[in-house]
Structure 1
Amino acid sequence: MPQKPTLTYAIQYFDQTGPMRAPYLICKAFLELGWQVDIQTMAGPDNADMTFAWEQVPVHKIRGSQRQWTLVKLAVSLLRKRRQHIVLSFIWDWHCYGLLLAKWLFGSPYALALDTYAHRSGVTPRQRLHEALRYGPLLRNADLILAECPDAYEAAQRYTRKPVVIQVPFCLWRRELTAVEAKWAAAGFQPQREKVILYAGRLVERKHVHDLIAAFARLSAEFPEWVLEIRGLPASEAYKQQLDALIAQSGCAQRVRFLPGLSGEALYRRYREIAIFALPSEGEGMPTTITEAMYFGGAIVAGISGALRHQLEDGRCGCLHEAGDLTALTGHLQTLMASEPLRETYIARARERMLSLFVWEQYFPELETQFRQLLKS
């Protein structure tokens, strides 16, 4: 019986947020095609209880008392990979040098995911020199580079023309989204959109939730029927106290709700129920929440960061502002809160763009072809 082709997803930190990462979804798709898939990562408190992903994919955890030595052990473990075996990893992780060494010693193929955080790099000559030394050998020797957005694609092209570079954005499976909507239709779930502004995600300062609260407070008297709903837990007690103080001063504490975070279908349902989704953040890549909200709605207001311009087509599919610009954020919220037809226009445009650019069905056939060619080469 022929040996199954094998794909290893190597990642420095793998935890319960793993299912939201694009390489994780790629691995899941190859598993469904009959490939053997495993995950190699550093052991830590966030994955202490994890043994399998999807109840069948083993999660191999490399243990160590010091982060640096654990990373070395993870890199060494990747040297054991041979032909009929592809390793997929983010480029930023230091264990990728284990992949590079395995390539030099054994010819073992590897693919690199170059995510949208490439937009933060290469700004100054010194940074570009650091990049060339730090990442150049990894990029030049990779068999395949998966660039998440146009900026990441250009970053890969700065260093090499040798490997195949394809643009593969973070996506969702259309078939899964269609199944969710079919389930809702069968259950009679057809909500009218509530006058709610939703934020869903981590509560850290760079997400600018404080700006969202301040903007809502400015508009609360003009739009007394609207509610701000914040779903997620504060990352620190200090930031929680800052948000609590801001709400207390706003005079609209009864209309600002702090609720537990949602994920999966529960979050999808909430997107479908609300009128506006806000992510006034800085320092983003290609946010999962934006991709999901583009499909399910409501109208999107977001800070300009990472691939947000690309995702929202330079503001055609949502309102964009410079992160930290409270006046612009307030103005965008005011415009959307005042006009249901405008909200529906943005919702329709965002869904259309998401279905044309951000579904796996559009990219996976080429990706599968490329991976199979690596095994034959």
Structure 2
Amino acid sequence: MGKQSQIGMGGRWALPFLGVACAVGVGSIYYNQPLLLVMGQSLHQTAKEMGFVAVATQVGYACGIMSFVPLGDITDRRKLMVRMYAGVSVALLIAALSHHLATMLIASVLIGLMASVTHIVLPMAPELVPHERRGQAIGTVMTGLLLGVLLARSFAGWVSGIGGWRSVFFAAALMNAIFVPILYKVMPRSQPHQDLTYKETLRSLWTLFRDEPLLREAGTIGGLTFATFSCFWTTLAFVLSKHYGMGPGVAGTFGVVGAAGAMVAPFAGRLSDRHGTRFVVTLAGGIMTFCYLWIWLCEGFHVSTTLHMVFLVFGVLALDLGMQMMQVGNQTRIFGLGELARSRLNTIYMTMYFIGGAIGSALASLAWSRWEWNGVCALEIGLIVLAGVRHATGYSRRHPQSGPSIPPSEMEIA
């Protein structure tokens, strides 16, 4: 199909539509984060135990990316996406009806598994534009994805204040269910990129990981930086409750603040097209490091609660800006490695990314239970420093202009 739109609407609406699809899917895995305390009270669990609900969702998401996203290269994307959005809806209903921690953990894993549909959508973006606009296209769709991530927290915080935490999951299940017929209507059947069996497709993942040093570098940096991001968002509701007596609605409102950072994605994409992805990743890492130091230091200032909130708002805004730039830079890198293997390249990258997020959430819960906010902030700084070391010593340092390197014949069986 070349660079023609693969969805049944005008070309200029193709990328925004994919962004909305990403937002609807990915939001499902973040509804629980600002609700952990109130969910814990309802399920009679501690903050430490409820932290593993967030971990379970991210583990499920990583497993879904590994299991389902490679199918985007070898099967009809429309059929796959419709089934997975329906699956998200069912999993959210199970969460809404959960009365025990074990059931909630199972539901959270299922939500993560099905919500990985987001990364069947995302690799379509660079197929709709010329090569020189690849970064901008990825940035546009990533805007929708990050808005879904951030506004999901706001939506959860506000809706729970009106109808309780269960109403959040009921409403989210309805949203995903409505999206199923919309997808079926606007997306035509798609031809597979590759004539491979599922077993061959999964086997090719290891070959791609082994043979692509830039993919390994991007995945490691992405995983470490998302671990820091998960540390912050997993424990934000805890610190707001204990230090300031604020509920989940306030924690969710910070998602709106962070959403402003999502609007930098198209700019980050253009910056990547103009100056290279290494420049964007370096700038993003510097911004994120500054933000974690700023947020940590601000807790020690002897100022009013209002001023503390102003400082925190500034930190959250810049942090989400940096995280979005990091993601656009890394994904522009990997999608440039091979057109026929984009779903599999994204599978490997995002699996590493969300494994990092799950580890970050788990470590943050443990750090909070022992050292509270100081422990969480020290953990964030340690992880972002590790990402910086990997970036400073990685493959892109020796090959800053590295581009496509997977021959088409190797993409078929990799």
TM-score by length of 1: 0.28
Q: By percentage of residues, which structure has more strand? A: 1
Give TM-score scaled by structure 2 length.
Answer: 0.26
Greater helix proportion: 2
Which has the bigger relative contact order, CA under 8 A and spacing at least 6?
A: 2
